[in-house]
């Protein structure tokens, strides 16, 4: 059996434990030249707090103090790292004979200046276990509680990071610019471990997905294909098989004393209590401190050692994997004072970075509370750049499924976007038609190809940052089941024995090919369109079943017409004079035909028309 020294050298995580067998240190390594000069290392081993740790002399690094808790199995070393410190190895000794080494690494050039994802991007959301099996040897791993079970809807199907790496040429050709993987971190749970949100090690990629080194390789190879990597982080909860459930670092590490109490301590999901000036303290606590389920204990971010752990964990992954963004699961469920500090710490370290928080509400008054720059009545200040636009998602599905009237149909979308005055930066909202927690857009639109194409055209041409769920381009469908295992369906071509292959086009239906071509056209146009990435949005009140809008930049104007009618429309453009100016010709994106703007535009039945004016 390999020693810990060998394991850490092979994995390049650079934390070595000598004569302190089975001790772990978190973070596993750090960097010199960070904006913040403090570092807190959490040590975990039986009776580790009894060691009187001393740092051997190292220029520019001081061991400020050691924090011990009510659990002798933990110790927290607070270090000060000056800007003059150089990369190297810190050596810690104790009088009891303990010794361990800790690496300080050099940062990549301009790491602090990295640009996050923005409105020029499209995030492609992947459930790695259901996307592509690139390495069948890790489908089941000895020591992991759940083995592969590809025929079970809630089981592990074998997809992994190697499968995503292998798909990079396909994703680049499709027009994707960012990858958002549901958490690939270790989920060593006895069941339903595939989804990734019950984390049992915040510093380790699940061995059935690959390794830390392979995740970093994914980031590097994706960048070579013009694609960034966005990590899905969970701050609110963790998996019940985590060592913290058996050995809590502090008595108050987990909310409600680590007891779900048969649902008594379940969250209320009443997110409005956070902003409600009349809400009781009881209701506020029930929302923020309550657990999702018994297998996902709720973390107490008011505990300062835990708060610091979560902040450093995010920064560690940004540096280690060279991330271009973070998506935060169940954002508002965490302590809001902690969230302010967490976002501020990351954005201070990376001023041009981007983080999007999941606040699942169709009420923009609630969602906008969290976006950076919002002046809130209670004085709360957030540094979160982006939130998810659930209001537009819900309105879009309603609009396409409803008949048109004065208060139904496209007016729902118009009204949702009209609420942008509530947001400090609506261009930095994440817009989407579906995701991993809801039925697929094709399913929600009752398997209507034309409506699905209209929905995706709107999402990929309106304001904001676009997100698309994997397989939307080939009409993946969960009709007949709302089970998450069916929503997170296997991607065609990613697994052996499938009849169709989206990567090659083999076996796809005519409708699937049509959708794939539509999505590819939109995504690749979006990548190079100044109007879609930077342009102003001007939309017009829906009329006669048509919703229309313009995206305008200095050198380009894009006009979008979404016609829900079951008949062709001859559509006059006189009302668009303010965005047309003197332009008389445009090119239709999908047909590449030239269109005379001095005449009425032909809008085919149940269609999206996109006119590009250069």
Cβ partners under 8 Å of residue 379, min gap 6:
none
The stretches of 296-440 forming alpha helices (DSSP H) are 304-321, 336-349, 364-367, 390-401, 410-418
468, β-bridge pairs: 124
Indicate whether 83 and 132 sit together in one domain: no
CATH number at residue 102: 2.60.40.10
What is the C-alpha to C-alpha distance for residues 304 and 69, in angstroms, rounded to an integer?
Answer: 12
| Separation CA 466–CA 119 (nearest Å) | 7
Q: How far apart are CA 530 and CA 257, in angstroms?
A: 52
Mention every residue, 6+ apart, whose C-beta is less than 8 A from residue 262: none
Domain end, chosen from 528, 557, 592, is at 528
| Secondary structure letter of residue 436 according to DSSP | T
Residues 172 and 263 in one domain: yes
- Residue 42 sits in which domain range? 4-107
Which residues lie below 8 Å from residue 201, measured CB to CB, with a gap of 6+? 185, 186, 188, 242
Distance between CA atoms of residues 473 and 518, nearest Å: 8
249-337-378 Cα angle (round to 5): 160
Contacts of 438 (CB under 8 A, 6+ apart): 444, 487
98 falls within a domain: yes
Task: Give the residue among 122, 117, 467 at the shortest CA–CA distance from 324.
Answer: 117
Residue 183 tokens read as 């958490």
Q: Are 14 and 105 in contact (CB under 8 A)?
A: yes
DSSP codes, 509-575: -HHHHHHHHHHHHHHHHHHH-HHHHHPEEEEEEEETTEEEEEEE-SS-EEEEEEE-SSS-EEE--GG
375 and 402 both lie in a single domain: yes
Q: Which among 235, 227, 165, 239 is positioned nearest to 195, based on CA atoms? A: 239
**Positions marked active-site:** 329, 358
Residue 91 sits at φ, ψ, to 5 deg, of -120, 125
Lookup: tokens for 562:
């979404």
Q: Is residue 115 part of a domain?
A: no
Asked if the structure places residue 337 within a domain, the reply is yes
Would 487 be classed as within a structural domain? yes
Residue 193 φ/ψ, nearest 5 degrees:
-80, -10
Domain for residue 128, yes or no? Answer: yes
| 39 within a domain of the structure (yes/no) | yes
Distances (CA, A) of 78 to 42, 61, 194, 327, 371: 9, 11, 36, 28, 32
pLDDT score of 97: 85
What predicted TM-score, i.e. pTM, was given to this entire model? 0.95
Q: What is the CATH number of the domain that holds 274?
A: 3.20.20.80
CA atoms of 117 and 461, how far apart (whole Å): 16
Residues 98 and 131 in one domain: no
Residue 287 CA to residue 283 CA, distance in Å, equals 6
Q: Tell which of 107, 131, 158 closes a domain.
A: 107
- Across the beta sheet with 430-432, what order do the strands follow? 386-387, 355-357, 325-329, 228-234, 178-181, 122-126, 465-469, 430-432
Q: Which residues 6+ apart lie within 8 Å of 391 measured at CB?
A: 361, 362, 363, 364, 367, 416, 419
456 and 590 within one domain: no
**Tokens found for residue 576:** 């668009």
- Within a domain: 168: yes
- Do residue 441 and residue 418 come from a single domain? yes
Q: Classify residue 427: in a domain, yes or no.
A: yes
Q: Which SS3 state, helix, strand or coil, does residue 576 take?
A: helix
* CA 128 – CA 229 distance, rounded (Å): 13
Both 206 and 350 in one domain: the answer is: yes
Same domain for 459 and 370: yes
CA max distance for the chain: 88
Please state whether the peptide bond connecting residue 27 to the residue before it is cis, i.e. omega within 30 degrees of 0: yes
What's the number of domains the chain is made of? 3
Nearest to 254 by CA among 191, 303, 308: 303
Report how far residue 528's alpha carbon sits from residue 574's, in angstroms, rounded to the nearest whole number.
Answer: 28
152/279 same-domain check: yes
Question: Domain containing 554 — which CATH number?
Answer: 2.60.40.1180
| Same domain membership, residue 54 and residue 163 | no
Together in a domain, 370 and 414: yes
Mean pLDDT (10-residue bins), the chain, 614 residues: 32 36 91 96 96 96 98 98 98 92 97 97 98 98 98 97 98 98 98 98 98 98 98 98 98 96 95 95 95 97 98 98 98 98 98 98 98 97 98 98 97 98 98 98 98 98 98 98 97 97 98 98 98 97 98 97 96 96 94 96 98 97
In this structure, the answer to whether residues 91 and 173 fall within a common structural domain is no
Of the residues 85, 107, 129, the one at which a domain ends = 107
């Amino acid at each position: 059996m390999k020693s810990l020294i060998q394991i850490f050298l092979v994995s390049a995580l650079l934390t070595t434990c000598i004569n302190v067998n089975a001790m772990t240190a978190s973070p596993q390594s750090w960097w010199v030249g960070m904006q913040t000069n403090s570092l807190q290392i959490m040590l975990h081993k039986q009776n580790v707090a009894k060691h009187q740790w001393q740092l051997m002399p190292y220029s520019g690094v001081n061991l400020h103090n050691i924090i011990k808790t009510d659990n002798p199995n933990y110790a927290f070393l607070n270090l000060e790292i000056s800007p003059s410190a150089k990369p190297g190895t810190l050596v810690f000794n104790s009088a009891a004979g303990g010794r361990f080494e800790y690496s300080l690494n050099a940062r990549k050039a301009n790491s602090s200046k990295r640009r996050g994802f923005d409105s020029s991007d499209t995030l492609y959301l992947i459930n790695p276990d259901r996307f592509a099996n690139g390495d069948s040897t890790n489908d089941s791993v000895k020591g992991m509680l759940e083995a592969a079970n590809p025929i079970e809807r809630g089981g592990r199907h074998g997809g992994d990071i190697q499968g995503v790496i292998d798909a990079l040429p396909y994703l680049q050709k499709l027009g994707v610019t960012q990858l958002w993987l549901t958490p690939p971190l270790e989920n060593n749970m006895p069941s339903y471990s595939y989804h990734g949100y019950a984390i049992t090690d915040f510093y380790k990629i699940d061995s059935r997905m690959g390794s830390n080194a392979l995740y970093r390789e994914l980031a590097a190879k994706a960048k070579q294909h013009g694609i960034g990597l966005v990590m899905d982080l969970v701050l609110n909860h963790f998996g019940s098989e985590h060592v913290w459930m058996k050995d809590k670092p502090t008595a108050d590490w987990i909310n409600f004393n680590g007891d779900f109490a048969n649902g008594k301590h379940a969250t209320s999901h009443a997110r409005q209590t956070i902003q409600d000036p009349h809400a009781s303290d009881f209701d506020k606590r029930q929302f923020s401190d309550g657990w999702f389920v018994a297998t996902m204990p709720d973390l107490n971010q008011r505990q300062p050692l835990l708060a610091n752990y979560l902040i450093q964990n995010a920064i560690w992954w940004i540096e280690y994997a060279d991330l271009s963004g973070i998506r935060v699961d169940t954002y508002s469920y965490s302590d809001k004072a902690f969230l302010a500090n967490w976002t501020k710490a990351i954005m201070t370290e990376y001023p041009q970075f981007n983080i999007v928080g999941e606040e699942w509400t169709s009420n923009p008054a609630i969602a906008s509370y969290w976006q950076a720059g919002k002046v809130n009545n209670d004085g709360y200040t957030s540094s979160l750049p982006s939130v998810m636009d659930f209001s537009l998602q819900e309105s879009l599905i309603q609009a396409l499924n409803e008949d048109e009237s004065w208060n139904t149909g496209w007016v729902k979308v118009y009204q949702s976007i009209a609420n942008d005055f509530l947001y400090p930066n609506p261009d930095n909202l994440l817009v989407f038609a579906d995701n991993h927690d809801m039925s697929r857009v094709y399913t929600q639109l009752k398997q209507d190809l034309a409506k699905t194409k209209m929905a995706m055209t709107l999402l990929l041409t309106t304001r904001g940052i676009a997100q698309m769920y994997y397989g939307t381009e080939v009409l993946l469908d969960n009709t007949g089941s709302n089970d998450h295992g069916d929503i997170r369906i296997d991607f065609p071509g990613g697994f052996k024995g499938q009849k169709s292959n989206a990567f090659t086009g083999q076996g796809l239906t005519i409708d699937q090919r049509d959708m794939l071509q539509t999505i590819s056209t939109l995504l690749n146009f979006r990548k190079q369109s100044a109007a879609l990435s930077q342009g102003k949005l001007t939309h017009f009140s829906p009329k006669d079943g048509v919703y229309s809008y313009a995206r305008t930049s200095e050198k380009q104007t894009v006009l979008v017409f979404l016609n829900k009618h079951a008949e062709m429309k001859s559509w006059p453009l006189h009302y668009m004079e303010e965005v047309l100016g003197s332009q008389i010709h445009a090119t239709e994106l999908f047909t590449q035909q030239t269109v005379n703007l001095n005449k009425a535009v032909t809008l085919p039945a149940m269609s999206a028309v996109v006119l590009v004016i250069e």
